[in-house]
Structure 1
Amino acid sequence: MKVGLIRCMQTEDMCPATTCFRVMQDKKVAFEGVAEDISVIGVNTCGGCPGKKAVTRAAEMVKRGADTIVFASCIFKGTPIGFPCPHAEVMKDAIVKKVGPSVNIIQSTH
Structure 2
Amino acid sequence: MKIGLIRCLQTEDMCPGTICFKVMSINKLAFKDVLEDIEIVGVNTCGGCPGKKSVTRAAEMVKRGAEAIAFASCITRGNPIGFACPHAEQMIAAVEKKVGESVKIFDYTH
TM-score range, shorter chain: over 0.9
CA distance in 2, matches of 1:58, 1:33: 22
Instruction: Quote the offset at 1:33 in angstroms.
Output: 2.7
Size of the aligned set, in residue pairs, is 110
Question: Which secondary structure state, in structure 1, belongs to the residue aligned with residue 11 of structure 2?
Answer: coil
CA distance in 2, matches of 1:40, 1:56: 18
What's the counterpart of residue 5 of structure 2?
5
Normalised TM-score (structure 2): 0.99
1:101 aligned to 2:101? yes
CA distance in 1, matches of 2:61, 2:47: 15
Question: Which secondary structure state, in structure 2, belongs to the residue aligned with residue 75 of structure 1?
Answer: helix
1:50 aligned to 2:50? yes
Gaps of at least 5 residues in structure 1 are: none
Question: Which secondary structure state, in structure 2, belongs to the residue aligned with residue 10 of structure 1?
Answer: helix
Instruction: Quote the offset at 1:8 in angstroms.
Output: 0.1
What's the counterpart of residue 39 of structure 1?
39
Question: Which secondary structure state, in structure 2, belongs to the residue aligned with residue 79 of structure 1?
Answer: coil
Residue type matched to 1:6 in 2?
I
CA RMSD of aligned residues (A): 0.5
Gaps of at least 5 residues in structure 2 are: none
